[in-house]
Amino acid sequence: MGEMDLDLTGRLMADMDPQLLDFLRTKVNSFVKWDLVRFFHDNPHTADTVENIARYAGRSVSAIESGLVELAEDGVLNATQVGGMTIYSLASDHEVQQMLGEFVKASDERQFRVKAIYHIIRGMR
């Protein structure tokens, strides 16, 4: 990565809310996870298997499974065993829900979205 690229990243991230930036860096660091957190934010009482969540999200199981697992490991989602099935649902932690709400609200603004997209693309390299 060149010096100019680092400068641009630094400038893009400089005015982001530090908590949102941390949430983006550590929790929502892929487009699939972004889709998933948005889905759980919009449908907060969803509780289902990876197969059914894939169907709801219009994605394949292979596309979302690792995202669900990582979001559960990071405490954004809950993963529970019910009748031999792993069921994913939004974490009941109030702070997580609040941060998720703020992230989704912020991502409705174009400027934030552009910065977040840039950050995720950088992370994918």
Residues that bind another protein (CB under 8 A): 42-49, 52, 56, 80, 82-85, 87, 89
- 85 versus 114: smaller Cβ distance to another protein: 85
- 85 versus 117: smaller Cβ distance to another protein: 85
- 16 versus 65: smaller Cβ distance to another protein: 65
Q: How far is the CB of 44 from another protein (least distance, A)?
A: 8
Q: How far is the CB of 120 from another protein (least distance, A)?
A: 24
Q: How far apart are CA 77 and CA 64, in angstroms?
A: 13
CA distances from 56 to 39, 91, 115 (A): 9, 19, 27
Q: How far apart are CA 33 and CA 69, in angstroms?
A: 10
